[in-house]
Amino acid sequence: MSTGEVAIRIRSVGHQFGEVGEARHIRALADTSLDIVRGELLCLIGPSGCGKSTLLNVIGGLLAPTSGTVEVAGKPVHGPMPHDIAYIFQENALFPWNTVDENVRLGMLFQGVPKAEHAARAQQSLQAVGLAEFADHYPAQLSGGMRQRASLARALSLQTGILLMDEPFGALDEQTRMILGEDLSVLLARTEKTIVFVTHSLGEAVFLADRVAVFSARPGTVKKIIRIDEPHPRNPAFVTSEKFTALRNELYALLHDEIRKAVGSDAPRGRRGANGGAP
C-alpha cells in the first residue's frame, strides 16, 4: 500500500572498491539516483556483479558510498539504522544451535527491543509467516523454504519500516520460491513496509514488484524502471496472464543486452532472433 511519500532517497550514488591504479580497483556502482516510495516493493534486477548488493549495503548503511547520498525517512544514512531497516540475505543467518523462536528473539535482543515484548512479537511474526508450529524446531530440522520464512519472521519482529532483501529466495527450488512469493505478496498487502528486493528471477520480479529497476552492466546504474500495475495480494493466476508474459518479456529484452555487455562478448551471428534468444 503506497502513500507516495519517499522512504528512501538515493542521489547520485556511486561506489568503487579500492583505489584507482590498484589491482583490486573496481567501479561497482555509477551515479545512481532513485526514489523508493513508502509501502512499495521495488525489485532490482541486473547482470551479476552490476552492483545490486553494493547498493543494498549502501542503503542499509553497511557501506559508505564513494559518492552521492542516501536518505531514509528524511535522515541521511551514515551507518546501520537497526530501528528503520532490517536485512534478509540469500543465505539465512540463523544460528544453528538456537531454535526458531530463539533466533527471532535474538534479532530483537540485538536491536534493543524491550524484553517484555519479545514473546508476543515472536509469536506474531512466526504466525505471519506460517511457522507458529515450528517455533521450537532447530534450523537443521527445517526445509530451506522454512528457514527463509524464519529469517523473514526475525526481520518482521523488528518492526522496521524498511526491509532489504538480497536474493532471499535465490537458493530455493522454483516451487518453494513461488509459494514464498505468493505468501510475501499477501503479507505485503497487509503492511506499510517498504521493500527493496534483489532477484535474478524475472518472473519473481514481475510477480512481487510494484516497480522493477533494471540495472545496466557494471558500473551499474538504473537503466529503466518498469511499473507493475497489479494490486497486492497478487493472484497466483496473474502468472499465467498475457499481462504477466508481456511484462516479463519487456524485462528480458532490457536485461539481455546488459548481460551480454557484462559477459563481454557479442551474440554469435545468426542466433539473435526477434526474442533475443529467450528460453
Ligand X SMILES: Nc1ncnc2c1ncn2[C@@H]1O[C@H](COP(=O)(O)OP(=O)(O)O)[C@@H](O)[C@H]1O
Chain residues binding ligand X by CB under 6 A are 17, 24, 26, 28, 46, 48-54, 218
138 binds, options Mg ion, ligand X, none, Cβ within 5 to 8 A by partner type = none
**Shorter beta-carbon distance to Mg ion: residue 215 or 244:** 215
Strand partners, 220: 29
**Shorter beta-carbon distance to ligand X: residue 58 or 81:** 58
48 binds, options ligand X, Mg ion, none, Cβ within 5 to 8 A by partner type = ligand X
Least distance in angstroms from the C-beta of 164 to Mg ion: 12
**Shorter beta-carbon distance to ligand X: residue 9 or 27:** 27
Q: Which of 48, 46, 40, 75 is nearest to 61 (CA)?
A: 75
Least distance in angstroms from the C-beta of 53 to Mg ion: 3
Least distance in angstroms from the C-beta of 63 to ligand X: 8
Binding site for Mg ion (CB under 5 A): 53
**Shorter beta-carbon distance to ligand X: residue 54 or 125:** 54
51 binds, options ligand X, Mg ion, none, Cβ within 5 to 8 A by partner type = ligand X
Report the distance separating Cα 42 and Cα 212, nearest Å. 6
Determine the residue with CB nearest Mg ion: 53
Least distance in angstroms from the C-beta of 130 to ligand X: 29
Least distance in angstroms from the C-beta of 100 to Mg ion: 26
24 binds, options Mg ion, ligand X, none, Cβ within 5 to 8 A by partner type = ligand X
Least distance in angstroms from the C-beta of 47 to ligand X: 7
**Shorter beta-carbon distance to Mg ion: residue 53 or 99:** 53
**Shorter beta-carbon distance to Mg ion: residue 53 or 199:** 53
